[in-house]
Amino acid sequence: MEDQGKGKGLMEPQNSGTELTALIVDDDKLVRMIHQGLLKRAGVKSEAVKNGKEAVDIHSNGQRFDIILMDKEMPIMNGIEVHSYIITYSEM
């Protein structure tokens, strides 16, 4: 019996029919670029911002993501503050 998944690595798109979206929140440009590259290889559409305030602004404008990769320590608004905001205002 032949394995139908043979040759498919973890980083290859699996054609699930729905496109996942991710928000990358990090003040380090290199980290943002690495995450975007890895997500692209996995078939995940991503957007990146450099601080928590920008993440909150995106959320406040109604944009939603399946995955959020966020640095804990950032200028302006840290990851813990952003998480608290998103949890509080997503339930309204």
pLDDT tens-digit map of 49-84: 999 999 999 988 989 899 999 989 988 988 899 989
pTM above 0.85, yes or no: no
> Rounded to whole angstroms, how far apart are CA atoms 34 and 85?
26
Q: Give residue-wise pLDDT tens across range 7-53.
A: 454 445 455 557 899 999 999 999 999 999 999 999 999 999 999 99
Give the separation between CA 2 and CA 79, rounded to whole angstroms: 45
Instruction: Give the domain 21-90 fold.
Output: Rossmann fold (3.40.50)
With bands split at pLDDT 50, 70 and 90, how would you rate the model's confidence at 92? Answer: low
Of how many residues is the chain composed?
Answer: 92
| Domain range list for the chain | 21-90
